[in-house]
Amino acid sequence: TTQIRLTSRPVGEPRDSDFEVGTAELSELIDGQVLLRTIYLSLDPYMRGRMSAAESYAEPVELGAVMIGGTVCEVLESRSPNRAPGDLVLAFTGWQTHAVVPARQTRRLDPAEAPISTALGVLGMPGLTAYAGLLDIGKPEPGQTVAVAAASGPVGSAVGQIAKLKGARAIGIAGGPVKCRALIEEFGFDAAIDHRSPTFRADLEAATPDGIDVYFENVGGPVTEAVVGRLNPFARIPVCGVVSGYNRTETSAGTDRLDLSAVLWQILTRSLSVRGFIVEEFVPTRQADFLRDMAGWVAQGSVRYREDIVDGLERAPEAFRGLLAGRNFGKLLVRVGED
Ligand code: NDP
């Protein structure tokens, strides 16, 4: 197998020199295992946390180890009665071309139901994040206003479209006019606001005449600062991610200092509900509902998705840098092998 290993802990933006490309021998299959060939590797913002030794909800990737990640793979050999060569599966084999894993760590995909890549995006982890975070924590009601940033990505685009299906108004925030146009034309948001525009604050105010009832937090930073001023009493804030800070170093943190007591005062006086979550929390309770609803919505065309596919495993570090800088446009995938 060819693999990309983490060789040093990045400071700020990850560099090519934080990784190495190498090969490794795979072990012989034992009972219950399958040999997999990677077709798609998912690149996701949470991977930045795993590159770092700072305390988080999950252990960091060890130095010298293969970078972790969700994958869609083809079974090449099987010593499990439940998998046969040619099966397509969802797995978690990381940044490599091949892997040997227990068959029970894979989920079979039916390419007749949906394109297999969607298992990493709209019908996968990011989709469930949007679904459960919005419906179970955000709880939008018909006529209310839902705002979300990183709105052209897999989480944000699903948040906006599910909000619309529930009868809410959806306000999307994204970087640049091309993404903003797609929010309206492809994903059906009611308004799209460019956070890079000098008129961002005024544009947000104009687009939210009735305030904001649900702010699905993906980014933090100046976007959140502007949104806070628009929140209605009893607004809900599912805290899903803070991508603007993932490459932050001690020196750059100086520009993002807040007065915690002032924030708590806002929460108190406006009766806000702020609730963080990690998507795994919802797998036992909501995965089945999510797969049923979302597969139906996607099949009907009431939820659309966009993918940004980069060819070649060796381009993963560069593509990952782009993800945290907003250079991706849609769910970022690496095509590692032929589909
Ligand atoms: P995206 O594909 O949306 O990629 C991230 C996007 O963030 C970029 O494309 C960029 O879009 C935007 N962004 C980057 N920096 C900034 C900034 N400084 N200010 C504003 N926007 C910025 O990623 P996902 O949809 O996969 O993930 C979205 C969020 O959801 C992330 O925060 C991620 O960590 C979180 N998440 C959380 C999970 C959980 O369990 N809690 C699970 C899955 C995802 P643009 O060009 O529009 O600015």
- Give the chain's radius of gyration (CA, Å): 20
In this prediction the ipTM stands at: 0.99
Q: What is residue 330's predicted lDDT score, i.e. its pLDDT?
A: 98
* CA dihedral sign, ordered 92, 95, 97, 98: negative
Give the helix, strand, coil percentages of the chain, each rounded to 5.
35, 25, 40
Each residue of 28-44: pLDDT tens digit? 999 999 999 999 999 99
Please give the sequence-ordered ranges of beta strands (E in DSSP) within 7-127, or none if there are none: 19-23, 33-42, 71-78, 88-91, 98-102, 107-108
Q: Which of 120, 183, 189, 219 to mutate to test the pocket of ligand 1 (most atoms within 8 A of CB)?
A: 219
pLDDT of res. 256:
67
Is residue 332 within 8 A of residue 37, CB to CB? The reply is no
Q: How far apart are CA 319 and CA 328, in angstroms?
A: 8
Q: How far is the CA of 153 from the centre of ligand 1 (A)?
A: 7
Pocket test for ligand 1, best of 120, 122, 155, 332 (most atoms within 8 A of CB): 155
Write the pLDDT tens digit of every residue in 129-183. Answer: 999 999 999 999 999 999 999 999 999 999 999 999 999 999 999 999 999 999 9
